[in-house]
């Protein structure tokens, strides 16, 4: 087992990615560019956490976690665009938004 597989933030990121991918499969009316971008950003959160956990120096780890957090922000902003186009309900937007807000805090170590 790899170290990153034990990280709570990694598990939460994977779960959020899984939910985003499911949401995209069920909502094909979303613009293809936005679909592709949120899919890639969601995956980026997961893979940068994994890659960062394998780095030896704190600076290297921090760099990958910062990139991951940037991808969290990207997902949140893309969800806002989807919401503003009425392609997601207010309830689902709130659920996803909360998950990404939590991920953002955990990935920088402000929430455990």
Walk along the chain (112 residues) and give the pLDDT tens digit of each residue: 999 999 999 999 999 999 999 999 999 999 999 999 999 999 999 999 999 999 999 999 999 999 999 999 999 999 999 999 999 999 999 999 999 999 999 998 854 4
Give me the residue spans of the domains in the chain: 3-22+30-107
What is the C-alpha separation between 17 and 45, in angstroms, rounded? Answer: 8
What is the per-residue pLDDT for 37? 98
Q: Which fold has domain 3-22+30-107?
A: de novo design (two linked rop proteins) (1.20.1440)
- Please check whether residue 12 is in contact with residue 102, taking contact to mean a CB–CB distance below 8 angstroms: yes
């Amino acid at each position: 087992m790899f170290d990153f597989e034990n990280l709570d933030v990694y598990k939460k990121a994977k779960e959020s990615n899984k939910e985003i991918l499911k949401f995209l499969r069920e909502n094909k009316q979303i613009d293809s560019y936005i679909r592709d971008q949120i899919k890639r950003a969601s995956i980026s959160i997961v893979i940068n956490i994994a890659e960062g956990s394998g780095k030896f120096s704190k600076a290297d780890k921090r760099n990958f976690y910062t990139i991951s957090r940037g991808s969290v922000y990207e997902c949140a902003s893309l969800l806002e665009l989807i919401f503003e186009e009425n392609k997601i309900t207010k309830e689902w937007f709130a659920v996803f938004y909360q998950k990404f807000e939590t991920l953002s805090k955990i990935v920088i170590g402000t929430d455990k």
